[in-house]
Amino acid sequence: MSAKILLAESAGFCMGVSLALAKLDKALQEIDIRRIFTFGPIIHNPQVLAHYQGRGVQITHDWSEPSKGDIVLIRAHGIPLEIESKLNQKDIHIIDATCPKVKKAQILISKNSRNTDCLLLYGEPEHPEVKGLLSYANTTAHLFEDFEQLKDIKLTSGRHYCLAAQTTQDREQFQLMAEYLKSDLDPDLLFMDTICDATKNRQVETIEIAAQVNCMLVVGGRTSGNTRRLCKVASEYCPVCIHIETEEELSPEMIHGFSCIGLTAGASTPDDTINKVYHKLKAMLH
């Protein structure tokens, strides 16, 4: 009897990624002799980046590199305010492809942090979205990656805090952090629910599938924060969780002996990649 495969319905591109790539595709159609840049990788998927590199899209991390007449597309993760300001001062064409959910988080942080003594931000220190979010803080900010780091921050009772998160973080953990801060430190904590619904739904579905299988495959770029988070939540419910980028990494030995295998993918993983993994997996199991 062949093994069963449970494929997550939410696997693949989220709205923010789809919108960013649509803007880049449109810019490529309208391009004449101008160069086109993305400020940082537009999304965290090496196969997608290679595709656009082949179409002439350049990645820059230096605001001074683009010159007069060039097109610069702001990545889906957003960029820090000071860099955006410098780009706006240049004679270039800027296309803002920041994910609407990230943009909303930026606006909330800018608006609400000015009324508090300190912003507490749950996120990854080196992630580009987080660097952008911090630039919108109108108060002192503390960044932490997990509950333990939050508890290690020297916070003072009687001060007013606001709490926000990188849009792709673990919602359950985020809620627990809010409850901890309200009960132990600031009952009037300003809680900004900045984790997007697509992230929440994807994590919930991943947990539901992981609890039913004895092997979980998560497909997506290794630099993708939301893909890594899916691996983390899946590993809490499934004894074996494997992160792969493409079908080429999949081998019979990897899945040998499992009767039920779950398959999901990060928000920056193309449908084509997911389909290739699914069909190769299916062929291996029959």
Q: What residues are labeled active site?
A: 129
Q: Which residues contact 22 (CB under 8 A, 6 or more apart)?
A: none
Q: Round to whole Å and give the CA distance between 81 and 41.
A: 17
State residue 49 phi and psi, 5-degree precision.
-65, -40
Nearest to 258 by CA among 208, 207, 214: 214
Cα 6-10-12 angle, rounded to 5 deg: 100
Q: Round to whole Å and give the CA distance between 231 and 169.
A: 12
- Count of residues for the chain? 286
In the 8-state DSSP scheme, what is residue 179?
A: H
H-type helices in 145-211, by residue range?
A: 147-152, 171-184, 197-210
Nearest to 97 by CA among 78, 84, 70, 69: 78
Q: Round to whole Å and give the CA distance between 54 and 33.
A: 16
Q: Round to whole Å and give the CA distance between 144 and 147.
A: 8
